[in-house]
Chains A and B, each alone.
Chain A
Amino acid sequence: MRTGPARIALWAFSALVGLWLIAPTLVVIPLSFTDKASLVFPPSGWSTRWYANFFSDPRWLDALFSSLQVGALVAVVATVLGTAAAIALTRSGSRWVKGSYGLLLAPMIVPTVVVAIGVYALFLQYNLLGTLLGFVTAHTVLALPFVIIPVTASLRGFDRRLEDAALICGATRWGAIRQVTLPQIAPGVVSGALFAFVTSFDEVVVSLFIQSPYLQTLPVKMFASVTRDTDPTIAAAATLIIVFTTVLVLAATFTTARRNRVR
């Protein structure tokens, strides 16, 4: 292994880039433990009063509950649809079906605000603004690519002959998928489900457009709060989101890594 100035410089540079990427996130955590009623960094004293505030204020709790509910439903719907789509995409020889892969990933590339305006216009017409169904539908569109990508990757490493073997053994097509294909691609499906949940859980732009005073997700509530009152409760909420999503993303990454090791 080589050591020397070049190597040390590379390390230092990488560390700096890393710090630059996570610094804004890390600033929020001390802010949430401040004892002052304003977002001043660095805090002059410490307290957990903003967490107490968060968990005693029904408006914050409602928003948290809405986010969890929408996120869980999106995880289920997007995982089922995304897995089915990924299986169809890898199976079909049709050029049209193959082309629709790009279409399904489009929500990842199209600017979210464009999607948001489109969704707003549609939802306005069909009375879906501020409804649970509206949130789940809109977030599912955004979450689909995050399911399709890992499931497709898992399917690429899956030996189609296993499915043929299951069929000739007497399994129906669905039976073969359920008993052989799905257990084999489970890590990809699980990681897709976690990413779908996280995508919904921290979605702001589309949510801002389709929210109503009766149904707000946590990020929407935070956005409203930061523009009205600069109360450090928002930092407490942000810290909770950070911890929650970090755990989920690590879990997703871990399931993928473990699958790769098993191979």
Chain B
Amino acid sequence: MSAETSLIKARGARIELAQVRKEYADSVAVDDVSLVIEPGEFMTLLGPSGSGKTTTLNIIAGFTAATSGTLTVGGKQMQDLPPHRRDIGMVFQHYALFPHMTVAENVAFPLKQRKVPKARRAEMVEAALETVRLGGYGHRRPRELSGGQQQRVALARAVVYEPSVLLMDEPLGALDKKLRESLQLEIKRVHQEVGSTFVFVTHDQEEALVLSDRIAVFNDGGIQQVGTASELYEKPRSLFVAEFLGESSTVRGRVEPDGDGSCLRVGDRTVRVAGRLPEGSAAAVVVRPEHLRAQPAAEPVAPGANALPARVTQEIYLGSGRKLELALPDGTVLLAREQADRLSGVRHGDEVTVVWDVERGVLLDDPSGTTHPPVSGDRTPVAAAEKSGR
């Protein structure tokens, strides 16, 4: 790529959504969403199906009008600006390439709309195709390309005019896993090269972790929490976020009335937690699998640790270590991960003690616990997400 045609650009635009709401006749798709996306940031909207991610993106693009609330991009009010005047690029899930045009014509399309002179246009198209590693494919028709190549053309078409904002709605959703991973890296690289503000929609948490500067977790039309991947993983503010991002073990109970708000009654046991909630309220302690240990039942528990009796119901070898599924007496299944160099001796079927340091447990309000007794049974993150997504 020659220097003068490179796509390096100063900065992306800042996006501000304030109390944005979108109602349909029989439902609320987006419920009071407020979000500030910094210039040049890679923001991912993550959430289960139907949580309002696409609707939010379409409001930013201008395809959908919000029922109420305000949107500014680069400090400008967007409400009355049609999509073609917003200086925004977009990559769609199913590519949305123009089938009657060649790859080069597709990428040149936005430049043509902006009346860029023909010679300059050809240069910019070639540079954009180089950026997505498709130099020399300009004369082909979209249908003569693979899915991954088509999506790279769509990416080239979206960045060629250097929009200050780039929106992507599950751009990798239609591709297989391997291709998805290589394109993730490609998108990350393009983001660094063009410097636009990227807003990326996905319901794949791994993808969100790989790509994003920050992640906004959506559920039921609202934002549950915004933060970096590690903030969301280590300090989830709701049970939904804790269970949607990464693997987690959840112990449900009730805050002890006689404690100082930091003891949880779980069955006939008491668990101590670092946080505090009103006495008597339903709550849950979430512990990441790498912080849970299973030790033989006979072994003494170290001071400052919580302990619950359990049985090993599953032993899964991961190469780098192993994963244990541990069932509590009430049926709740917890996950513990052990590194290969620190394996405990416990085996499938053993009666064990589950142990974790008090400060490793995150105390969270348990919205399902106010009406239901502690939920038992297998709770994978996906099952939990679907349940809360309803």
Contacts and interface: CB of A to CB of B under 8 A. Distances in A.
Interface of A: 159, 161-162, 164-173, 175-176, 179-180, 183-184
Given A161-B94, A167-B82, A169-B110, A183 B100 contact: yes
A175 B113 contact: yes
A11 to B, nearest CB: 39
The 9 closest A-B pairs by CB, nearest first: A170-B113, A169-B110, A165-B96, A167-B83, A161-B96, A168-B90, A183-B100, A171-B113, A170-B84
A114 to B, nearest CB: 39
Given A170-B110, A170-B161, 11 more contacts: A165-B92, A168-B86, A168-B89, A168-B90, A169-B109, A169-B110, A169-B157, A170-B114, A172-B84, A176-B84, A184-B99
B98 interface: yes
Kindly name the residue among A165, A166, A175, A183 whose own CB sees the greatest number of chain B CB atoms within 10 A.
Answer: A165
A162 B94 CA distance: 10
A164 B100 contact: no
Interface string B212-232: 000000000000000000000
Contacts of B82: 167, 173
Contacts of B96: 159, 161-162, 164-165
A168 B84 contact: yes
Given A171-B84, A172-B84, A184-B100, A165 B113 contact: no
B183 interface: no
Contacts of B92: 161, 164-165
A180 B157 CA distance: 15
B88 interface: yes
A173 B84 CA distance: 8
A98 to B, nearest CB: 16
Contacts of A175: 84, 113
B286 interface: no
Interface string B308-345: 00000000000000000000000000000000000000
Given A169-B113, A170-B110, A180 B84 contact: no
Interface residues of B, number: 24
**Interface on chain B toward A: helix, strand, loop, or mixed SS?**
loop
B83 A162 contact: no
Contacts of B89: 168-169
B31 to A, nearest CB: 22
Nearest to A168: B90
Nearest to B63: A164
B285 interface: no
A176 B113 CA distance: 10
B84 A165 contact: no
Contacts of B66: none
Contact of B84 (A159, A167, A179): A167
A185 B221 CA distance: 36
A168 B58 CA distance: 11
Contacts of B94: 159, 161
Nearest to A263: B99
Contacts of A173: 82, 84
Contact of A165 (B62, B90, B100): B90
B125 interface: no
29 contacts: A159-B96, A161-B92, A161-B96, A162-B96, A164-B83, A164-B92, A165-B90, A165-B96, A167-B63, A167-B82, A167-B83, A167-B84, A168-B62, A168-B63, A168-B83, A168-B84, A168-B88, A168-B89, A168-B167, A169-B84, A169-B89, A169-B109, A169-B157, A170-B84, A170-B113, A175-B113, A176-B84, A184-B99, A184-B100
A171 to B, nearest CB: 5
A169 B97 CA distance: 11
Contact of A166 (B86, B109, B161): B109
A184 B109 CA distance: 16
A165 B98 contact: yes
A180 B96 CA distance: 11
Interface string B152-170: 0000010001000001000
Contacts of B239: none
B61 interface: yes
Contacts of A179: 109
A180 B112 CA distance: 13
A161 B82 CA distance: 16
Nearest to A183: B100
A169 B157 CA distance: 8
Contact of B61 (A162, A166, A168): A168
A161 B97 CA distance: 9
Contacts of A171: 84, 109, 113
A144 to B, nearest CB: 27
A94 to B, nearest CB: 13
